[in-house]
Amino acid sequence: MGASHSVELNADVPCPSQPGTNCIATEPLDVLPTPVTAEEAYEETKALMRYPLDPLTEGMLKHFECKDIDDKTFVLKVILDGQKLDKVGFGKGDGTDRMRMWKKVVCDDAGLKLVVEDYVSEATMGSWVDEASDKEVCNTCTLLVEKSPPRLLFIFDDKDGKRMSDAPVRDALYQWSDMIVGGVQAFKNSKVKVTGDADSSTDPGKKSMLTGPMDDHVTYDKFWAQHLKYCKDFVRNLPGAQCEDISEDEFKGTLVLDPAKPTEVSTHTVRAAKSESKVTWTIEHDGKVMTEMHRIVHQSPLVLEGWDVDSTGARIAGKSKAKELQKAVNEIIVKANSWFG
């Protein structure tokens, strides 16, 4: 929630491994409220590079491939479904798929270093599949984890070898540093684990996100109340949100995302049905449903089940969405047991 980051990134920092050049570096990881070691950061980075999908990408996914070349090298391909992109207004209009990522990753476990070569640009969200090629590297990022103090260094060069370490590149890299550091912290802080792509308890034959049993950590009533409060607070904290309680079981927040288009309004509607132990959170933009989040609190054992439905009707309950839910569950359990929740 909010605009804070797992750890701050600094632009134009002198690069220890390449004197006379700059890089982008995090603040030390061992002084964070939940400290992260160099080894933890490196292992999380390796895992992330093997599955670097956010929930939106996961929902649009057509093909995913992670192929080991040798014991140190793998090649990653992420292709988005052109028909789904067309439906949400981001396609070519003819069903052409998009190569969202195409990366070659070389791991140096002893040196806590990864060298990532991109064949399609992250800045342009990749390339159309009929234009993508691995004949030329468009940029290279060396991610080095220092040990003392532990911090992440991003050494980013464009296709001509020019070092890119200024503020715009730093801001773009927050996506990666947040997932790396936040992923370690979410795991370390979790009392129960959230599993993605699990067999649904509600809809046989479909997949959901499921927590482990929470009975030892929180009661049903406290979890239900705090979960509903979490959803409402998330909307209230969105910049410019205008919120109102429609009824005891319905809450709505509206906001304008683009000041240049004041008539295009996004609406968040949270509906609770405690008799069914279900919360539904619907996000609409300009009258069109973009996402529906479904959460069911099973009572015996106490387990949270969840899945999202995107604008194409696809059900989303994969690994990256589970990581997102993990952070929410961690916060809900802590606040449900706090005097100040």
- As a whole-number percent, the residues of the chain with pLDDT over 90 amount to 71
Q: What tens digit of pLDDT does each residue of 165-198 get?
A: 999 999 999 999 999 999 899 888 889 999 999 9
Q: Which of 66-75, 281-290, 295-304 has the highest mean pLDDT?
A: 295-304
Backbone angles phi, psi at 143, to 5 degrees: -105, 115
- Please tell me the predicted confidence (pLDDT) of residue 321: 85
CATH superfamily of domain region 9-189: START domain (3.30.530.20)
Question: Alpha-carbon dihedral of residues 291, 293, 294, 295, nearest 10 degrees?
Answer: 180
Q: Which pLDDT does position 223 carry in this prediction?
A: 96
Contact of 254 with 265, CB cutoff 8 Å: yes
Structure tokens given for 202:
């509600």
In whole angstroms, give the CA distance from residue 41 to residue 6. Answer: 12
Distance CA(331)–CA(226), nearest Å, equals: 9
Residue in the structure block whose two tokens are 């979410």: 186
Q: Report CA 250 to chain centroid distance, whole Å.
A: 27
Query: Rounded CA gap, 152 and 24, in Å?
Result: 8
Confidence bin at 2 (pLDDT 50/70/90): very low
Identify each DSSP E strand in the chain by its residue range: 9-14, 22-26, 61-68, 73-80, 98-108, 113-118, 127-128, 139-147, 150-158, 194-199, 207-211, 242-247, 250-256, 265-273, 278-285, 288-299, 302-310, 315-316
The two domains 9-189 and 194-336 share their CATH topology (first three levels equal): yes
Residue matched to tokens 């396609």: 91
Total residue length of the chain: 341
For the domain made up of 194-336, give the CATH fold: Alpha-D-Glucose-1,6-Bisphosphate; Chain A, domain 4 (3.30.530)
Domain ranges of the chain: 9-189, 194-336
Is 322 in contact with 183 (CB distance < 8 Å)? no
- Beta-carbon count within 10 A of 23 CB: 23
Residue 112's contacts (CB-CB under 8 Å, 6 or more residues apart) are: 38, 39, 42, 144, 145, 146, 147
Q: What would the mean pLDDT of 106-122 be, rounded to a whole number?
A: 96
Cα separation, 44 vs 49, whole angstroms: 9
Higher local confidence (pLDDT), 55 or 126: 126
Tell me the per-residue pLDDT of 28-76, one tens digit each, with 9 for 90 and over.
999 999 999 999 999 999 989 988 887 778 778 899 898 999 989 999 9
Residue of 314, 311, 334, 330 lying closest to 322 (CA atoms): 330
Residue 1 has pLDDT above 50, yes or no: no
Q: Return d(Cα 126, Cα 99) in angstroms, integer.
A: 5
